[in-house]
């Protein structure tokens, strides 16, 4: 009996030691697997993982019209570290009476085959990862029942093309969602008399900025003309222009939106020119406000000098102020 108990103890001890060895081997194997992730996979995921923004769309090689692109540009694609992705498409059209929007979602997985070579699964579109862009090719059916090929280009949200160019001044645009108070009762007749005429920006070195002007044309109308040396994808998106990516070397277009007219021209010395027809209000003897542009105010320093003061929030949500001096011509 004692012999049987001793053998049982030896057997149990052996089993326990074997189990510990198996656990250690399993742990060692997991660590080795983690360490064996190829560099090309890591680098590809560094380029792929994140949010992507639709920046261009064509149907049968023709750019989508701006009323449809205004909705379509809201589409997003997100790629995750766990080899999954989600694509949310917004389609429809927009006009003066409103917009119609339809949302569809694609979800799937992906596998990195080689450096920046990815196979995508479970998508109704053909997805290609090409250089710094994603290209999605989809067969769609139009209202007449005819099949068409739509090609959409996405850029990752941190792409330089989606950032506002530096040293381009400020973009004075109306914001109907944040209008200024129009109940001012100050009699600005004398101030308006001083303002009438054209004013030119002063004290800047950029040759295109030097062409910026504002002209007070009546008791309430202000024409503001802004120039920029170049434009990028963020400007095109802002004005709902679907243009091939990269932007063609020879591209020109003119867009009218509300009281704004914008010209894009890659061959011009100043590639971006915007003319805005704005209304203004004299707040007091020194201050002029622009209707529907709450970020900006104009300070009249004397009969021949005024300052445009623009307040904005930077990338860190810190409020910043920039000033430009204008002199009367």
pLDDT band at 173; cut points 50, 70, 90? confident
Mean pLDDT within 229-236: 95
pLDDT band at 314; cut points 50, 70, 90? confident
Lowest mean pLDDT among 214-218, 239-243, 315-319: 315-319
Residue 8 confidence (pLDDT) above 70: no
Query: What predicted TM-score, i.e. pTM, was given to this entire model?
Result: 0.83
Residue 6 confidence (pLDDT) above 60: no
Mean pLDDT within 307-318: 89
Q: How far apart are CA 151 and CA 56, in angstroms?
A: 8
Please give the pLDDT value at position 9. 52
pLDDT digits (tens, 9 = 90+) for 47-98: 999 999 999 999 999 999 999 999 999 999 999 999 999 999 999 988 877 7
Domains and CATH numbers, the chain: 43-162 (2.40.128), 189-328 (2.40.128)
pLDDT digits (tens, 9 = 90+) for 116-125: 999 999 999 9
Please give the pLDDT value at position 313. 84
Q: How far apart are CA 167 and CA 204, in angstroms?
A: 10
């Amino acid at each position: 009996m004692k012999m049987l108990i001793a053998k049982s103890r030896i057997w149990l001890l052996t089993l326990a030691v074997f189990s510990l060895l198996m656990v250690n081997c399993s742990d060692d194997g997991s660590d080795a697997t983690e360490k064996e992730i190829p560099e090309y996979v890591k680098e590809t995921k560094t380029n792929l993982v994140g949010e992507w923004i639709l920046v261009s769309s064509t149907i049968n090689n023709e750019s989508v019209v701006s009323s449809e692109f205004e909705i379509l540009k809201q589409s997003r694609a997100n790629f995750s570290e766990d080899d999954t992705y989600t694509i949310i498409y917004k389609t429809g059209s927009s006009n003066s009476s409103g917009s119609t929007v339809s949302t569809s979602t694609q979800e799937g997985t992906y596998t990195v085959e080689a450096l920046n070579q990815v196979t995508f699964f479970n998508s109704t579109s053909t997805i290609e990862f090409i250089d710094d862009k994603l290209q999605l090719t989809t067969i769609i059916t139009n209202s007449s029942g005819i099949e068409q090929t739509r090609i959409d280009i996405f850029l990752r949200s941190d792409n330089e093309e989606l950032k506002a160019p530096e040293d381009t001044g400020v973009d004075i645009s109306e914001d109907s969602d944040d209008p200024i108070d129009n109940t001012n009762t100050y009699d600005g007749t004398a101030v308006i008399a001083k303002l009438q005429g054209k004013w030119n920006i002063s004290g800047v070195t950029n040759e295109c900025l030097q062409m910026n002007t504002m002209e007070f044309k009546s008791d309430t109308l202000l024409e503001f003309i802004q120039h920029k040396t170049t434009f990028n994808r963020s400007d095109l998106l802002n004005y709902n222009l679907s243009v091939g990516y990269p932007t063609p070397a020879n591209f020109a277009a003119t867009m009218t939106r509300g009281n704004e007219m914008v010209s894009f021209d890659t061959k011009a010395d100043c590639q971006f020119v915007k003319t805005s027809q704005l209304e203004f209000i004299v707040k007091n003897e020194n201050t002029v406000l622009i209707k529907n542009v709450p970020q900006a105010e104009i300070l009249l320093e004397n009969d021949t000098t005024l300052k445009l003061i623009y307040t904005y929030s930077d990338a860190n949500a810190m409020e910043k102020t920039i000033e430009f001096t204008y002199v009367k011509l």
